[in-house]
Structure 1
Amino acid sequence: MNNHEFFLHAINEKKLVQVKFDSQEKGIIQRLCVPFDFGPWRREMNPNPDRYHFYDLDSPDGKHNLSILPEQIISIDVTEQSFDPAVYIKWNPNWFIKRDWGIHS
């Protein structure tokens, strides 16, 4: 499987991922994340390439949303750790990628 397939698998199975990426500012970084979605960044209206959207669980700066362009991704590894979407989804989602997360789909 490629990185995108691993990402989709993690969403469907509700598994955390280890994401390794080139942050451009801080170099190569690896983070434990909840996989959220793949698509344009909703905050930006200009030409807006698709990107991977995660919730970073182990940043030294605290937990936060993390959006990464595909060309920055080095690897996405699916862990055995499950997550409960209800813990992280506190809004009415409108995902680009379909999933079966109950009321959080």
Structure 2
Amino acid sequence: MPKQGFIDSIHNKNKIIVTFFSKEDGRNLIRLCAPMDYGPSRRAHDKSDRFHFWDYESDKKNHVLSLPQEQIIKMEFLDDEFCPSEFVTWNPNWFVHRNWGAYS
């Protein structure tokens, strides 16, 4: 899995199209996302590293999508940029260091 491409997309603020197996839906889904972070989930009992995305196309109110590597089928790295102010509404404590100004 292209972890480095994901981390590069965090630094470059580029969107990603992610194809993943949704356990909830029982099928593959494709979503336009912004890469948020890579590391363990603070909410999950399983503390293995995950890819954390902001899902622009979620059908739920909570737009954070945290996926372990084994659920991800493909990531397509886009040239389209995102602005962290679109979704960062808290004081972040990221695992991956970045230069997002006030959103770092």
TM-score normalised by length of structure 2: 0.89
Equivalent in the alignment of 2:96 = 97
> Which residues in structure 2 correspond to 1:5-84 (within 5 Å)?
5-26=4-25, 27-44=27-44, 46-61=45-60, 64-84=63-83
Q: Can you give the 5+ residue segments of structure 1 that lack an aligned partner in the other structure?
A: none
Q: Any conservation in 2 of the 1:55–1:63 contact (CA below 8 Å)?
A: no
Q: Can you give the 5+ residue segments of structure 2 that lack an aligned partner in the other structure?
A: none
**Residues matched between the structures, number:** 103
Shift in Å at residue 29 of structure 1?
Answer: 0.7
SS in structure 1 at match of 2:53: strand
The percentage of aligned residue pairs carrying the same residue is 40
SS in structure 2 at match of 1:95: coil
Shift in Å at residue 92 of structure 1?
Answer: 0.5
Structure 1 stretches (4+) deviating beyond 4 angstroms?
none
TM-score normalised by length of structure 1: 0.88
Cα distance in 1, alignment partners of residues 46 and 17 from structure 2: 28
Cα distance in 2, alignment partners of residues 88 and 24 from structure 1: 24
RMSD across aligned C-alpha pairs, in angstroms?
Answer: 1.6
AA of the residue aligned to 2:63: H
Cα distance in 2, alignment partners of residues 3 and 94 from structure 1: 23
Q: Any conservation in 2 of the 1:57–1:63 contact (CA below 8 Å)?
A: no
